[in-house]
Structure 1
Amino acid sequence: MISALNRSLYIKQSLATLIFAIVLSLVLSFFQAYRTIQQEPYRIQKEFNDTLSIVERPLSQALFRLDVTFAQQQVESLLYNPAIQQATVYDENDHIFAQASAPTLSPSLSNDVANFLLREQLSVGRLLNFSGIEIPLGRIQLELDRRYLVEQIIAFNSQLFIQNLVKDVLLALILSWLFYVIVTRPVKQLTWSLAKVDEVNGVSVPASFDVLHSNDELGRLKATFNALWLRLTNALEALDRSHQHSKAMISHAADGIVVLDRMLRVQVVNEAAEKLLNKSSEDMSNLPLTTVKGGSFWASLEHSLRDLPVDQTMTAETTLSNNLTLTPIEIRISKYEVHGEVEFVLLMRDLSERKEAQKRINRLSFYDSLTRLPNRALMIDHLQKCMSEMKPASFGALIMLDLDRFKTINDSLGHNIGDQLLLEIVDGLLPLVPPNTTFARVGGDEFVFLWGNVRGDMEESNVSMNNFIQRVLFECSQPKHVEGHDLHVTASMGVSYFDGSEESTATILRQADTALYKAKELGRNTCAFFQEDMQSTSDARLQMEKSLHRALKEDEFEVYYQPQNNDKGDIIGAEVLLRWKDHDRGFISPMEFIPVAEEIGLIHDIGRIVLQKSTEQVATWRQQGLWQDSWKISINVSPMQFAHANLLDYVIEALDKSGLPAELVDIEITETVLMSDLDSALAKMEQLRDLGISLSVDDFGTGYSSLKYLKDLPIDRLKIDQSFVRDLINDKDDYAIVLAVIAMANALSLNVLAEGVETLEHFQQLQLMGCYSYQGYYFSRPVCATEFEKYCKSHFETEVI
């Protein structure tokens, strides 16, 4: 019974409901009996007052007529009520007129019980008056049987208790049955279904369950369990996948993995670790770490592992012997705690490839990949060491070598031929290198000889130094046969002596580079020794480079305009000229800074600025009515600018931003552009002409191009160089050249413009020779935009007059 009670929720609920119904019935019955007893005196008073009302009139008449017999009959009739013990009628003098008593019966209740239940005295009395007249005739007094009344109360309440008990028990049974139908049986069905749940279908219940409980708590419980079961199934699958994935990762990891317990016994060993340790996992399972191959290292490591804090890592390196080969390994050790158990994981990585890679990187870092010579970094390191170890009265030399015309060969024949040529040159120079001398490649075609201890005097006439230089120059100038090509190159060399007192290696390198630059200026295929006066030239050039970068950044360049006029003095256009006013040196001649800008590659940015500023200014003048559509703005483009791949894009960009029509622009190029690459130049000139831009050949007559190209070039005008115009009056040769250029231009239907027209005699002579377009100081010097505006306004005023 107890076992069933513990197992069955329904039995527990039924017993609880039954006990609760009985207890509730008892409590309610007791409470009802208590209220009945409390109200019983009032009920008794009311009941027997009603009884007296019946006999009141007959007894009043009997007292009035003094009819004792009739009164006695009335009194005795009252005794038919078993609750009345005695009935007494008193006359007006309070003497007994009639009296009757019920026979005494053996009591079923004790007086104590009766007195406890009915504590008040139970007697009922009433005055008897004559009918219609308030004249007292006497009174009647009834004595009630307390025990009888209590027995009636007990009998009534007992019956009521039994009725309530039966009703409550029936109600408890009905509720238990309803609970069984509504809750217990569905729960049993759900429990039975949960016991047979599967991974695919989840919880499967009878159809009636879903019909009755699809929307109630049990239905939601089933849905919730299905959802939880699905999540649990997915979690278990994910956990299993993770477990399998972790096992696969550990098993197939490239690094060796060994897991130790808190006693440093081997628990897990993957395949990579087996190969590194040359033992199988079965042979190492549950063995102490110190029994692993190379036990001395593991013994020393064991103390460190025990002292290692939890959640901390450490790294160690060792070398393992495997099949007569030494394998360097790195071991990264982590200590952690899982479920209260401390474990160690050792990640062992084979460092063989890394060590080899470090060696390769070291070679790449300090040696040239093509020639296998030391590179700049290693050479500087050797130079620094040489300076620090320099003895008194001794000196060294840094010799910088640069191949002449190598870039031409490299660009024309390809980098592969260039690389092979470098190898041929290096092979020829290596036998010439003195002992204890570093031969390094520091750039594309730049080499350095670091001679740490030179014999003789620290002078240009040093015999051993000059002999070495001459042998190197001779070797470089010998023909080289590379893949069917006979190649000829020469070398320029710069020498800088040092004795260890120099500020730094950079100083020595800069001096050697300055000397090399001087050798280039001397005509190449030669050598120059560094002199102090070279430094000032080098510093000035470096300062010029810095100033040019600053000028470009701070927009210090200004565009000037020199008018171009016809034979009547009318303006036909203007040439754009670049001016630069340095903060310290003032205006610097374009002849001074343009070559430097070309060499360091700033000419493209400067030319772009000139294009943008000049087109925007002319577009503004055109809107203001100062610039006529028949005028042209002439913009010089250097050969390096013209060869730039983005020149056409820069021109189009300037025209688009300014809104200036292309027909108002004239691009001036020199004959050098035609000499470098005629086909490419011709294609680019055609593209400019397609935009509507005019083309002029500037400084015509100073170049060396063939005149036959003129008939095929898409040009509109020739500009006679001012060097011919300046001495036109006095020099017959210049006169003949100018006359020939004018005649040739007329024959080719080209316009011609003379530069450098500075005097009236120049102007008149050129008119007589058939040249009708001019530019020079005779008309105006190059002026800023503001002055050019004034010039144009004054010109317009003169025309009006």
Structure 2
Amino acid sequence: MSQGRDDDREPGLNASVAALGRRLGRLDELLGAHERTFSLLRTTLDSTGDGILVEDREGRVVACNRPLLSMWEVPEALARTRDYPRILMHGMRRIRQPRAVMGRVRELRRRPGEVSEDLVELRDGRVLERHSFPQTLHGEVIGRVWSFRDVTARKGAEEFIRHQASYDMLTDLPNRRLLLERLRQVMARCRRHGCLSGLLFLDLDNFKAVNDTLGHPVGDTLLRQLASRLRGCLRREDTAARLGGDEFVLLISEFEAGQEQAMERLRSVAEKVRQVLASAYRIEGHILHMTASIGAVLFPLGQESADDLLMQADSAMYRAKQEGRDGVRFYLPAMGEAARRDLALQNRLHEALKRGELELFWQPQSGRERRVIGFEGLLRWKHPEEGVLEAREFIPLAERTGLIRPIGDWVLDQACRFLARLGAQYPQAGPLHVSINIAPRELRQEAFARRLAARLEAHDANPALLTLEVREECLLGDLDEAGARLRRLKEIGVRIAVDAFGVGVCSLIRLKRLPVDLLKIDPSLVAELARDQETLSIVDAILVMAAKLHLEVVAGGVESEGQFKCLDSRRCGGFQGHLLAPPLSEPTCLEWLRAGLGGDRPGAGRQGAFENF
């Protein structure tokens, strides 16, 4: 019976074993299929161009592919370990802003179902596009997949296209499109904050002649050099743009001043630009001298659009062209009362010479013993309506309108005549020097030295007793050119002085290499001597430097006995100012000189020739 029961169970057992065998076979098949699938996925991941990183629901990295290891420059030895925390740390060290990158990772862990896309910049300059997708199973988030794609070349091409759309190809300055965009932004800020800004529209004078005679390659190089100079004139918040040809626009942002002060500041910027552009250009063996006509406009003074402002500045520039080139003109409708007065003076100045309205006043200069050593000629305009105007009120107008040449020639003639008269009629006074100011535009004129020599000869005046005072800005730019201009004057025998020294940017090396004889300390420094220790240190430095370079020094604006004694104790050699005497008309000046020589004036003599005038 027992044997029968065993026989009865054997078919069932055999069937179970057979079923188990079949199941094990199928399991082997499934494992093989899974292995093949995993191998296929790994091969696929490694063969794609994107870097892939997979993390589980706890944020642990569980896989990454070879392109990612390559992007992150993971060493092969580290890659084989599959030590993902170390691999991740290695990658973070390659990223320019790892905190921001990991901040986004932590943010997505708080929002596991969110899809993300951003850019990651590596320290070597490469840019990776990063995508992130949640990994789900049966609707549940079980992890996250990150993909990284190197888009450096694409981003570079996109940036190049954007740059080409907004910048001039020749000079790399912003073009009209970008200028208008920035101009609208500045206009909005000005209206919001109640401030003013300025626009300068400049056009090179006679640029066509450069292209026609020397060729377009030389012209293009000239424009590139000019663009570089314009950049150097501006602050970071300002914009220099090229509209095309030889037309450029400067956007000067946000003057924190009233309308009149803002206009003067914009004029100052325009004059600085004009001076910088006037320095010689050296191109392919050619030395080129260029000037620019500049139109200026302040804004916002009304409801003008950006295009309106460009048109206004353009109109002002053409007006500068019509009135002699190499000048600055403001757009009339945008002017305030001061600017309209400026225009009226400009128109009247054309007739001032013919009507005999200009006159040289003479201010005495003394040595340390207070004996007269010379006179400075100060130009005045006896305006029939405005009264007596000082040179600073109209000489800039003369420079901008081209009237500086006839006015300058008249001043030269008067100075040479006065110098000859002093020598002939007052020999007992000893050698008396005469000094006059020379405008930058006069100094740049090729024929200026020849005209000066002719007038000295015509009046039989001693050139060694004539001093030409030039501003510091005349000495900037091309050092060789500035030196050549001054040496042409020195060959005639005159002396060269740097006027208003100490408040500009003329360097010691320039003074050493230029044929300068004398420095005029700016009156603003003299005025601060007793109140400001730093100013006193600056004056001390000027006097020490002048002594080392064997230069004479005259202090301007000496108004008090304290200032005189302070400068005298520091061995300043010359003095000029109201303490000594105010500017005098020629008849009054000669009467004053005669009284001093005769001892009739109070304090006359070696110790007090100018006291109590």
| Structure 2 length-normalised TM | 0.47
Q: Which has the higher contact order (CA 8 A, sep 6+)?
A: 2
Based on CA coordinates, which of the two structures has the bigger radius of gyration? 1
